[in-house]
Amino acid sequence: MTDAFRDRIDLTVTVNGEEVEATVPAGRHLIDFLRLDLGLTGSHAGCEHGVCGACTVVVDGQAVRGCLTLAAQLEGAEVWTVEGLTDTAAIADLQEAFVARNALQCGYCTPGMLVSAKALLERGGVPSREEIREHISGNYCRCTGYEAIVDAIETTAKARAERTTA
């Protein structure tokens, strides 16, 4: 075992709107901090190489891969997981669209896909289907073929745009 895993660091971070103080191994990844230390298991540890996107969370407004980010990098940061976004209803319309379009078949990729889609939709406007595909290209889904996911994101973007112009 390397010193990076024996050494521990003190960390203060805001997770889903609540300040958290923790002492964690220096080499602990964000996804493990969330799942093991905080019990937030909505984000999944998939490939652990940053390829699949199942571990996607929001850090200081940016969608990031939890398996590629060290907890030590989070000092003073604001982190939102799918649990926090769900609890605040920030993605309620997006979740409803995923259900309506059956864009969540096995559900493994869904939390990361929702978080990635949230980041795209926060830009405002209605992205093209190509822009949606490009934005979610870092989130791997084995079940849906992506069409239903793109439909759900597009539907949500259009509905949000209509609400802001009404």
pLDDT digits (tens, 9 = 90+) for 8-40: 999 999 999 999 999 999 999 999 999 999 999
What does the pLDDT read at residue 1? 47
Helices (H), the chain: 3-6, 30-32, 82-87, 92-100, 110-121, 129-135, 147-165
What does the pLDDT read at residue 114? 95
Q: Give the residue-averaged pLDDT of 93-101.
A: 96
Q: Is 90 exceeded by the pLDDT of residue 145?
A: no
Domain with CATH 1.10.150.120 in the chain: 91-165
The CATH code that applies to domain 3-85 is: 3.10.20.30
Q: Give pLDDT tens digits for 31-66.
A: 999 999 999 999 998 888 888 999 999 999 999 999
**CATH 1.10.150.120 for the 91-165 domain, yes or no:** yes
